[in-house]
Each structure stands twice: as structure tokens, then as C-alpha cells.
Amino acid sequence: MNERQVSKFEYAPAPESTSIVNIKSEYGLFINGKFIAPKAGKRFVTINPATEEVLSKVAYADLADVNLAVNAARSAFTKTWSKMPPAERGKYLFRIARILQERAREFAVLETLDNGKPIRESRDTDIPLAAAHFFYHAGWADKLSHAGMGANPKPIGVVGQIIPWNFPLLMLAWKIAPALATGNTVVLKPAETTPLTALLFAEVCQQAGLPAGVVNIITGDGVTGSHLVNHPGIDKIAFTGSTGVGKAIARAIADTNKSATLELGGKAANIVFEDAAIDEAVEGIVNGIFFNQGHVCCAGSRLLVQENVQDEVIEKLKRRMSLIRIGNPLDKNTDLGAINSAAQLARIREISDSGDLEGAERWSPECELPKAGFWYPPTIFTGVSQSHRIARDEIFGPVLSVLTFRTPQEAIEKANNTPYGLSAGVWSDKGSRILWTAQRLRAGVIWTNTFNKFDATSPFGGYKESGWGREGGRHGLAGYLKAGN
Amino acid sequence: MRIDVKKTYKLFINGQFPRSESGRVYEVKDSKGKFLANPAQGSRKDLRECVVAARGAFSGWSGATAFNRGQILYRVAEIMEGRSEQFVAELVAQEGISASAAKLQVAKAIDTWVWYAGWTDKISSISGATNPVAGPYYNFTIPEALGVVAVFADGKPSLLNMVAGLAPVIASGNTAILIASEKYPLSAITLAEALATSDLPAGVVNILTGKAGELVSWVGAHMDIDGVDASGLGKKQLTELKVAGAENLKRIHSFNEINSPLRITSFMESKTVWHPIGV
């Protein structure tokens, strides 16, 4: 294919204004309804990954701060939150949902600044879904006896929640909304590189008049997280992140009564059958792997394409990839934003380079990457075999591995040949084939003729080493309730 | 006077009754300390054989219709009913309970099979969902069998606890490895004889007798076991199991109630499927 045949649309810059956000020069910890300075006075910076400019300094919570936060959550659980009539509890969640909608643009801009994701995605996906998650769970608060956990289910208590940097506010919503609706109180630690929307969410809790201590937000790193996991005052851990850390958490709580919800890694197969609508499938492949720079645990990172349509699919995919606009995340026309951190960029480079070394063929469209910040071009590898690292390891970046199959049975075997089981995609025009395939895929979310769709009503979570439990929908409540009659 | 023909208590693996490959047995005595039998002391290799058999049987059993699985579970109840006397005699000898208490336990165990037989084609209706997503998509969630599940059966009432562990696990389509109570293993092997004559495909249930203490770490570390019913384990063994089981994130649960749909759903995975709606 000659890339010059692809017309390059020139767009005038259309940056979203940052005047809507007011980032403070430094932040404290949100404990017991107030922002307080960390006891040891330690702070760390958070930067804009698209420019490497320092955005703010946030508090580093050590053990003493974790103690304070857990105590505040315990006190709020015992004295306030578990005693409140469920319908009133629900009203606080409705309030939070509404305030998130009111301040949606502010959250979207802040998320893009701190995370590097395109404003189009933070504005149209992350923030609306986060608000919807609170609205959905608000309505559950006084209907829990219908949740399938017995007539009289009970909250678990104080929940420690640790979330990743890829969807900072959305993951916060996935964690806090069900926990609060079911009557638990929380101590939440946002990711080290993306703390700002969680801290802005603390302001939302204040505006909503949420009782002090019901939500506590502590910033820090993995050490802070392990203090939280090991704290004897925590009854349950909810974690989204890598499978390695998820296993470490499972070991750490093995001799306690703590339960855990774990939402971990993935290496999703996106299967394209010969009868698929190829143009639509190509859109789905692009959405599957390049949405959010591929920083998605359920990303369709292994394309399994039926051998007789491989050439057509790859040619159309390359043409489509040439049209991906990479650059300033605040620009409304940007498709692919910045990689979230230098560390993540190094990891993407390291695993991708193994693809070259192991004999796969790399292709990226010509594209100019900004000088400052962390960037990686949209990339596909063809000629990938199942034993290659790029077919097995979660890259968590805009890198797609292409494998082929001849028969549906072979597609299933290759798709399931992974310790992960979070998601998968199926593209075909034949209903019975779609259902046959969906039935055999060992994964928690199957997108058929679509990809990367999320909804508060729809349970999300993985088979095998992709984690424990589900988030969202009625199924997501089970992780925050003790069954009771 | 006629000399009794006594039973050799062996393992149950892939539909067959082998001795332990290790050649080990251990002595089981009755409540008064009198010799009862030398059941096999299952080894790590026996466990691996069980896992291979269970994994091999998984696709067929989980792919069978729920109606079919329900009939087979009910058939187990039928066969047990016919062998009631043998179960009663073993329980009296092992547990030192009265004949009437033993009869009650056997009856309860049989009824437990019947109860779970009736769940096979209902659990999806109860624990599945259609989800009203905010967009033009048909979205539904269905529970599916987890895979290979090990069951550590608790002690007294030993037969009932075994059945309460096994029946819900296989009702949904899982295949199982039952680790019999160390102290009361005899009814486990008699149960195997009932299972072997109930149209249950070979490998769906495999039964090991032996020392739970040594089996627990092997079960925990085996990467092809997906879940464990740990109801029969003490605190220390449970911790050991969880630490080892973290390596492949085994689903590990314990239960108190005999009849509970949570015993079924805890060893199922929810799958959510999206499809666009349009013309």
C-alpha cells in the first residue's frame, strides 16, 4: 500500500481551554471530610505526561496517615453510614452523580492534563460513565434485598480501594459507588501518577455534604497501598491493576478474614471471521487497541484474523491507522494522546522491541511525535506466533499483535491460550457463529461486532488470572455485601 | 460360620478404582479403636491424575445440557437410596453414631442430591441477567462453570458434608476432585461406587482419600485447579491453601449451609456478552 494515497486532512488546532480548572500548587490528604497535611510532611509531584510540566505537589501518605484514614472510615461506618436509612444513603450518591455532571468539563480537562488521554475520551467516556455509575448505584441503596444476596444483606465494613492510572476518575467511580451504596465506607488510593481527579472528587464529596469519613482519599505509591492492604482495620480490598500485584494482595490477605475484588490484566483476543463486515471490524480493531493509548486492561491486543481475509484486513487496518491523529491530548481532534508515564513508555518499548527480536514484523504509520512528553506511535506486529512475548504479555500500550487462524476451533484454542480471561471480541455476520464463539471464549466480557463498550448496568471482570469478582450491574454488588436472611 | 468378604477401599480416578500409585495406605479405626480398613493414602501424583481426568471431562460435562446434568444428579440419589444400608453401616462404624442418626444422615445426603439436581436448569435464571445498557446493544450476563474444583470435605456428618460439597460443584458443569475427610473416608469410596453407576461420565468426580495436611499444599499449588471448596480445612491449612492458590488466583470459598445456591454460584464465572442492535 502506498501511504501517500491516504489524504491527510489538515485540521486547525482546536484545543480545549484549561481555564476551567484551578489546580492548587499542593494538596493534602482527604481524611474525615477535610484536607489535612501528611504527618511526615512528604510530598511528590504529578506531571502532565504530554508536556512533562509539573501540575502540582500532592501529599505522600505513610503508615501514620493510613491509620488516620482507616480510623476515620471505621468511625464513619459505625456511627453514621451503616445506621443511615438506605434511601437517604442513596440520595447522597444521587447528589454526587449530579455534581459530577455539573462539573463534567472541569473533570474532563483535569483528567486529560494529569493522565494524557485525549479530551474527546475523557469528555465523552470517562466522566459521563463515572457520573452514570454513581447514578446507577444510588438507586440500589434501598433495594439491596433484591440483589440476590438474601433478604437482609449486610455491608462488609471498611474497604481499602486501590485504583490504576488509566481511567482515574472512572475507576474511582467503579470502586466508590457500589461500596457506598451497599453501606460500606472507603479509603481510596489513586494511582501515583494520576491523583488529581480523585482529589477534585473529594471536593465533590464536600459539596454533596457527604458525612465526614465515609470517603477518605490518600495519595501515595505502592508502599502506601501495601499499608492499606495490610491494615488490620480494613475488612475488604478492592484493587484494579496488574496481575502481579493482584497475586501479591491475595497472598498478603491469606491469613486474614479480608475478602478481595481484583480486576487485573488481560490479553484479549479480537477474532475476525471471514464473513465479518471488514470495514466495521477494522474500526473495532482500532477502537480495541488504540482507545486510551491501549492503556486498557481489556484492550483487544491480540488480533486473530481468519487467514483468507488477512491481507484485506491488514491493508485496511494500515490505511485506517494512517489517519489516527496523535498529539496534544487537549485538542478535540486528537485520537491518540500521551503515554501516561516515562516508566510505562519504557515498558511498552521493552516488550515491543522483543517483538522485533523474536522475528515479528513491525509497522507504524508515519507520524510526528511531539518533542516533550511521552509518546508511542500506533503499532502493529504481523507474523506473530503464540510463543512471542508480544502475544503473551500485557503491553498496556498502542501495540497490536496479529495472528491468524483457519478454522473456528483454532480461533478458540488460540484465543483461550492465555492465563488471562478478561475480555474478547468476535466479528462475524452469522448469529449462530457469534454465539458459538462467545460461548467457548473463556473471558468475562465478550464484545460481538463491537468493542470496548462499558456501562454501569453491565458486569465487568475476568476469568482465570484476570481477577476475582465483577464490577457493575447487580453482580458487582456481591463483592460489597455479606449474604444474610 | 461364614467369613465376611471385606471391601478394599481404593481411590476413584477417571471412573476407575486404582490403588495409590505410591502404594501407601493408612489405618482407619472405628470410634472404639477397632480396625476398620486400610484406605489408600493419596499422593501428589494421584492428585495430578485426578486433575488430568477432571480437566479432560470438563468440556463434555459443562457442555451437557442442564436437563441432562439434573437427571444424572437425580440418578445418584436413586442409586444411593438403593445402597442406604451400606452407607448406614459405614457411618455407624466410622462416626460411632446410632443407626437412627446414621439413617437420618443418609436420608439428608440423598435429599441433598435431589435438591441440587433441581438447581441445574434454574441457576442461570436466578444468577444471570439482561442488562439495560444506555445504548443500542443487547447485553446479557450468564453464569458458566469455573472448571476443575477441589473439595475438602469436612468431618462429621461426613457423608452429608461430602455430598454438600460435591453436588453443587458438579451441578453447574464443573468437574471435581473430592478429598475425603481424613478420619471418615469410607463412605467417600462407597459414594464413588454410587457415582460410577449413575451415568456420570468418567472423570467428572474423582475421589482421593489420605492426609489433608499433605494434600492441601499440592492442591493449592496445582495450576490447573481453578477453585477450592475449603469448608473442611482448619485455619492454618486454609491460609496455606490461599497462599499457594494465589499463584493462579484460585477461587477459594468455605460454606456453612448445606442447601445454598451460593455453593453453586461461588464456583461459576459470569460472562457478559454485548451485541449491537440495528438493521
DSSP code per residue over A1-25: --GGGS--------BPPSTT----S
CA angle at residue A363 from A359 to A365, to 5 degrees?
170
DSSP designation for B25: B
- Domain extent at residue A360: 269-448
Task: Say if the Cβ atoms of A465 and B249 lie within 8 Å.
Answer: yes
pLDDT on residue A8:
62
Specify the CATH number for the domain of residue B43.
3.40.605.10
In this prediction, residues A394-417 reach a mean pLDDT of 98
Smallest Cβ–Cβ distance between B137 and the set A421, A450, A465 belongs to: A450
Which three cell numbers, joined as nine digits, stand for A148? Answer: 440476590
Q: Is the domain of A70 the same as that of A184?
A: yes
Residues A79 and A163 in one domain: yes
Q: pLDDT for A210-259, tens place per residue? A: 999 999 999 999 999 999 999 999 999 999 999 999 999 999 999 999 99
Interacting residues of A158 by C-beta distance below 8 A, sequence separation 6+: A70, A73, A74, A77, A184, A185, A186, A187, A233, A234, A235, A236
A255:B131 CB<8 A: no
pLDDT on residue A7: 58
Residue B223 has pLDDT above 50, yes or no: yes
Say if residue A444 is in the same domain as residue A474. no
Q: Do A361 and A381 contact (CB within 8 A), yes or no?
A: yes
Mean pLDDT of chain B: 97
A367 carries an active-site annotation: no
Contact B129 A443 (CB under 8 A): no
Q: Give the pLDDT band of residue A309 (cuts 50, 70, 90).
A: very high
pLDDT, position A485? 81
In total, how many domains does chain A have?
A: 2
For A129-169, the pLDDT digits (tens) are 999 999 999 999 999 999 999 999 999 999 999 999 999 99
Give pLDDT tens digits for B237-250.
Answer: 999 999 999 999 99
Mean pLDDT of B129-156: 97
Sorting pLDDT into bands at 50, 70 and 90, what band is A6? Answer: low
Report the pLDDT value the prediction gives residue A1, as an integer from 0 to 100.
44
| pLDDT tens digits, one per residue of A428-468 | 999 999 999 999 999 999 999 999 999 999 999 999 999 99
pLDDT digits (tens, 9 = 90+) for A39-55: 999 999 999 999 999 99
| Cα angle for residues B240, B248, A297 (degrees, 5° grid) | 135
| Cβ-defined contact of A445 to B274 (cutoff 8 Å) | yes
The single residue of A263, A394, A465, A471 carrying the catalytic annotation is: A263
Residue A459 included in any domain: no
CA distance A29 to A36: 5
Q: What domain range includes position B199?
A: 28-276
Tell me the C-alpha to C-alpha distance, in Å, between residue B8 and each of A38, A190, B19, B186. 69, 60, 9, 10
- Whether residue A292 sits in one domain with residue A211: no
Q: Taking CB atoms and an 8 Å cutoff, what residues of chain B touch A264?
A: 249
Beta strands in A48-140 (DSSP E): 54-59
Region B47-69 average pLDDT? 98
Q: Is residue B81 part of a domain?
A: yes
A314 and A242 part of one domain? no
CATH number, domain containing residue A237: 3.40.605.10
**In terms of domains, do A296 and A322 share one?**
yes
pLDDT of residue A243: 96
Mutation pick from A133, A475, A481, A482 vs chain B, by most beta carbons of B within 10 Å, is: A475
B133 contacts A473? CB cut-off 8 A: no
Q: Is A242 on the interface with B (CB under 8 A)?
A: no
pLDDT band at A189 (very low <50, low <70, confident <90, very high): very high
**A442 plus A469 within the same structural domain:** no
Task: Say if the Cβ atoms of A453 and B132 lie within 8 Å.
Answer: no
**Residue A396 has which C-alpha cell?**
498496556
User: How is residue A305 written as a grid cell?
Assistant: 484474523
A148 and A297 housed in the same domain: no
If you measure CA to CA, which chain A residue comes closest to B254?
A257
What count of other Cβ atoms lies within 10 Å of the Cβ of residue B50?
30
A255 in contact with B, Cβ within 8 Å = yes
Residue A8 lies in a domain: no
Residue B15 lies in a domain: no
Judge whether B6 lies within some domain: no
Rg (C-alpha) for chain B, rounded Å, is: 19
Domain match, A93 and A241 both: yes
Instruction: Write the pLDDT tens digit of every residue in A337-391.
Output: 999 999 999 999 999 999 999 999 999 999 999 999 999 999 999 999 999 999 9
pLDDT of residue B16: 98
Any domain includes B22: no
How many structural domains does chain B have? Answer: 1
Does some domain include residue A18?
A: no
Indicate whether B13 belongs to any domain: no
**B-chain residues within 8 Å CB-CB of A470?**
270
Q: Is residue B5 part of a domain?
A: no
In the predicted structure, residue A2 carries a pLDDT above the cut 50? no
Say yes or no: A171 and A289 in one domain.
Answer: no
Instruction: Please list, in sequence order, all residues whose beta carbon lies within 8 angstroms of the beta carbon of residue B184, skipping any fewer than 6 positions away.
Output: B94, B95, B155, B156, B158
Residue A16 domain flag: no
pLDDT at B176 over 70: yes
A205 located within any domain? yes
Q: Is the pLDDT of residue A5 over 60?
A: no
What CA–CA distance (Å, rounded) separates B67 from B121?
Answer: 6
In a domain, A382, yes or no: yes
Check pLDDT > 80 for residue A300: yes
Whether B191 is covered by a domain: the verdict is yes
> Could you tell me if the ipTM is greater than 0.90?
yes
How far off is chain A from B255, nearest CA to CA, in Å? 12
CB-CB under 8 Å, B276 with A483: no
Q: Does B20 reside within a domain?
A: no
Residue A170 counted as domain residue: yes
**In whole numbers, what is the pLDDT of chain A averaged over residues?**
97
Name the closest residue on chain B to residue A471, using Cα atoms.
B270
Q: Based on the domain organization, do A230 and A283 belong to the same domain?
A: no
Judge whether A9 lies within some domain. Answer: no
**A473 contacts in chain B (CB < 8 Å):** 129, 131, 141, 272
Is A421 found in the same domain as A291?
yes
